[in-house]
Amino acid sequence: MNKNLTAFLATIAQSEGTEHISNQQGYNVLCGGGIFISYKDHPRQLIDLPRLKIKSTAAGRYQILARYFDVYKKQLGLPDFSPDSQDKIAVQLIRECKALDDIEAGRFAVAVNKCRSRWASLPGAGYGQRENTLAGLEKIYVGAGGVVA
C-alpha cells in the first residue's frame, strides 16, 4: 500500500470517529462508540442511535455495515472481519468509487468527493449525519503522511 492510500485510510477512520476510541486503531469499534471483541465475523449488532434517528450495524475502523460485509467477504474471499479484511474492504470501496488513482496521485479533494457516497462523515455525503470539512480532513491526511498534489 502506498503512503497516500495508508494516509487516506487513516483519514477515513478519523472522519468516521473510530481511530482513537480503542487501542486497536478503531478496528474493533461499533457505531456509537462501543467495542466488540472477536474478529471471527462482523459483530452484527444493531445499534440504536436515537439522536440521529437511525439504527445501524456499522462496525470496524471504516464503519462497515453487516450487509456489505457479507457481500465483500464473498467477493474478496475474506476469512473474517480482521483488520486486514477491513482494510481490503475499504480499498475495494475506494476502487469502486474510482478514486484509487486520485489518492495515489495526491488528488485528495477529488478522492474525497468520489468517496463521499460510501462514508457518511465525508463532506457532501448527504446522509443527515455529522460531516467533516474538507480542510479538516486534509489536515488529518497530511498529518498521517499523505501528500497533496
Catalytic residues: 16
For residue 52, give the C-alpha cell: 440521529
